[in-house]
Amino acid sequence: MFAPVYLDHNATSPLAPSVREAMLPWLGDRFGNASSRHEYGRAARKAIDEARSRVAAAVNAHPTEVIFTSGGSEANNLFIKGVAALMKPGLVALSAIEHPCVREPARQLIRSGWRCEEIAVDTAGRIDLQAFDRVLADRPRMVSVMLANNETGVIQDVATLAAATRKCGGWMHCDAVQALGKIPVDFRALGVHGMSLSAHKIQGPLGVGALIVDKRVELAPLVAGGGQERNLRSGTENVMAIVGFAAACDVVLAERDQRSARLAALREVLEQGLVAMGAQLFSADAPRLPNTSFFAIPGVDGETLVGRLDRAGFAVASGSACSSADPAPSHTLLSMGVDPDLARAAVRVSLGAGSLRQDVDGFLVALGESLASLRTMTAMAV
């Protein structure tokens, strides 16, 4: 089977071998329901408890602060909707570059009497501090700012923003899905009240994530029923996926710093080649995740280029895979003031554990050939 070189790790990452090994027993003899009182159920409960401790350790949280979910989207929804359900309506503020699974639940609160306001970013995708101060002056009840953007890779100073939000009496939430595994993520140091994680971004399984939530925060559950996960997320636990999440966190702690340094060096090679081809790099001067490069070739449609590169053997993205059905230009880039035509040309390369120098070199060759072919076709059509 034809297998393109995979350069789309911000969309999802391949399962690490050690994670797969940890999960396999739970596809066979270990099949108990963690709510059962017999030995099979007790074994499942023990596995979940151990996994909770390991996920907590990966982000410097207490095990009781870890609520397992189906992924980052559910974790984001659980915090935003869960807080709002038990609070008098007020202002919910979020950065202008949040993922749709933060923007949409925040906007849904408007129907319940809440006001929703976006916090502007500068041309590099960093929070505009003056705009942030203006929002805080309106005393928001809840603020959400992602730690690292899934498209540009830009890292926000969440600790400073959280301290200011706390001072104003608001709850601070952080989507740390893209940051985990690439940079240090410390729940205590960030000072947030809630933080969302997802396993499949760190070589764990699809379909499992977590909300790390301060014990002082009261939440209403999204899913009511059997009372699992501190009565905040009812439903029989996905033991296999939860065990895999913990195993992936172990990989993160063991390999993150060395891997990040290696990927940053690879990205430097990539971006030097991109600039030589006339590419415009987005957020190049801002602190970014070490694996992420978001660029555009002016005049070349991003979706068309991604298709060409796929056929040439390289899997990349034209933006966020989570909203790839939307043909509109990147919301993140538009919020940064990028011209819509240039935003439509955007392509994202995100490196991962298996990425090699030969992959980057091969990608640059394929990109050059694809651009030459597209420009030839354009010239013939004139």
Active site residues: 322
What is the enclosing helix (H) or strand (E) of 116?
strand 115-119
SS3 state at 159: helix
What is the spatial distance between Cα 216 and Cα 207, in angstroms, rounded to a whole number? 27
Neighbours of 121 (CB within 10 A): 26
Q: Is 166 left (phi over 0), alpha (psi -120 to 50) or beta?
A: alpha
Q: Which residues contact 261 (CB under 8 A, 6 or more apart)?
A: 290
> Tokens for 180?
């985990």
Angle at which helix 357-381 crosses helix 239-276, to 10 degrees, equals 60
**Torsions phi, psi of 277, nearest 5?**
-90, 0
Do residues 304 and 297 touch, judged by C-beta distance below 8 A?
Answer: no
d(CA 140, CA 119): 12
d(CA 174, CA 59): 13
Helix (H, G, I), strand (E, B) or coil at 234: coil
Please, are residues 242 and 208 in contact by the beta-carbon 8 Å criterion? yes
